[in-house]
């Protein structure tokens, strides 16, 4: 079995990851760590977790095999390094760190310690995105030419905290959502981005100079061009993802979400077909792949290297928005 320690009394763990771990036949949550002892205790009680601790040393010194890090973004780096040093496997939330330099150090530390490091890019685990990836890989749309990602949402009131107020915690929509879009594009296309040009905005929700909307233009190695739209402020938008190829188009709706929802339409000269795909919970599948990697069976669904790629992409988008120039993407892998 895999005994987990949670680092962070977070919303994402409460809403999705605790259930996803418990859905595994061999998954167990042993302890939660919060920086605040009362919050640790309350969170443990509320979620039926046997132990609550308020220091990283106490958590890493306890009988656990793996940690799930879902603290605010500036904390991931040091917490992951400490966990690797203690020989614990690490499933880390995105962005892995605030800079791709730090993310590379995390991957190096995981290698040196011989532990598994995964990035919790949930969308790779969506049936919809896997169906799109399979269709692209099977040549069903011919040569992919262009892609469009619609991922501008309304940040729920209970999450209108550090994401829109604290630059030092890694707030802003680019580190929050653009990382996911960069990863999902790489996953579905089986291709890597080489450069990005981005505009960002503050449309009334985020303060302290943080952006709450972004539009990015990406060029991929194959020559494919893509656009992505991320936002916190669009109350009435829906999400989608399209890939257009020389012989067909994939048109997915309501798929940039945490739920196993949405539809994927394949349109070609022979007509239209709704692709069928499994509706397993995304996070449950993410943890299952991570557990397999811990047993030595393959890689987690999104590796540390994938986390470096998504962060290097987001970093380049922020640099582009700040400079008004197109920026090369180099994960230095």
User: Which of 56, 80, 91, 93 touches ligand NDP by CB under 6 A?
Assistant: 93
Count how many residues are written for the chain.
333
Count of residues of this chain found to bind ligand NDP when the rule CB under 6 A is applied: 21
Find the shortest distance in angstroms from Cβ 332 to ligand NDP. 23
**Residue 12 binds ligand NDP (CB under 6 A):** yes
- The kind and range of the H/E element at 105 are helix 100-113
Q: What are the Cα distances from residue 120, in Å, to 73, 91, 179, 223, 287?
A: 13, 7, 11, 28, 9
Q: Which has the closest alpha carbon to 264: 278, 274, 249, 254? A: 274
| Residue 159 touching ligand NDP (CB under 6 A) | yes
Minimum CB separation from ligand NDP for residue 29, in Å? 14
Cβ proximity to ligand NDP, 247 vs 259, nearer residue: 259
Rounded to 10°, the helix 76-85/100-113 angle is 10
285 binds ligand NDP per the rule CB under 6 A: no
CB 118 within 8 A of CB 304: yes
Select the residue interacting with ligand NDP from 2, 5, 8, 205 (CB under 6 A): 8
Would you call 297 exposed, middle or buried from its count of C-beta atoms within 10 A (0-12, 13-18, 19+)?
exposed
**Residue 161, interface with ligand NDP (CB under 6 A)?**
yes
Binding span for ligand NDP by CB under 6 A among 65-73, 98-106, 196-204, 304-312 = 65-73
Least distance to ligand NDP from the beta carbon of 31, Å? 12
CB of 280 to ligand NDP, least distance (A): 15
Q: Least Å distance between CB 245 and ligand NDP?
A: 28
- How far is 178 from 310, CA to CA, in rounded Å? 8
Distance from C-alpha of 321 to C-alpha of 58, rounded to nearest angstrom:
41
**Per CB under 6 A, does 160 bind ligand NDP?**
no
Residues forming contacts to ligand NDP in the complex (CB under 6 A) are 8-12, 34-36, 39, 70-73, 93-94, 120, 122, 159, 161, 176, 258
């Amino acid at each position: 079995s895999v005994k987990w320690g949670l680092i962070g009394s977070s919303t994402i763990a409460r809403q999705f990851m605790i259930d996803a771990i418990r859905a595994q036949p061999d998954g167990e949550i042993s302890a939660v760590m919060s920086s605040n002892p009362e919050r640790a205790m309350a969170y443990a009680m509320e979620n039926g977790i046997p132990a609550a601790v308020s220091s990283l040393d106490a958590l890493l010194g306890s009988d656990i095999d793996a940690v799930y890090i879902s603290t605010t973004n500036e904390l991931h780096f040091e917490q992951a390094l400490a966990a690797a040093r203690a020989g614990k496997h690490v499933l880390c939330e995105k962005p892995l760190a605030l800079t791709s330099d730090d993310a590379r150090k995390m991957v190096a530390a995981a290698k040196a310690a011989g532990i598994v490091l995964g990035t919790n890019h949930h969308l790779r685990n969506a049936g919809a995105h896997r169906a799109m990836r399979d269709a692209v890989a099977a040549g069903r749309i011919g040569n992919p030419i262009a892609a469009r990602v619609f991922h501008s949402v309304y940040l729920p009131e209970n999450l209108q905290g550090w994401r829109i107020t604290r630059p030092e915690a890694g707030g802003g929509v680019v580190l929050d959502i653009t990382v996911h879009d960069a990863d999902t594009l790489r996953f579905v296309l089986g291709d890597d981005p080489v450069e990005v040009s981005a505009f960002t905005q503050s449309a009334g929700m985020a303060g302290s100079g943080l952006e709450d909307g972004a539009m990015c233009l990406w060029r991929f190695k194959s020559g494919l061009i893509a656009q992505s739209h991320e936002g916190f402020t669009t109350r009435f938008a829906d999400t989608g993802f399209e890939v257009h190829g020389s012989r067909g188009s994939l048109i997915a709706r309501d798929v940039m979400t945490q739920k196993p929802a949405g539809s994927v339409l394949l349109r070609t000269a022979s007509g239209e077909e709704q692709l069928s795909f499994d509706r397993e919970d995304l996070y449950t599948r993410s943890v299952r792949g991570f557990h397999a990697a811990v047993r030595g069976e393959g890689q987690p669904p999104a590796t540390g290297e994938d986390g470096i790629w998504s962060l290097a992409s987001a970093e380049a988008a922020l640099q582009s928005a700040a400079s008004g120039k197109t920026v090369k993407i180099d994960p230095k892998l």
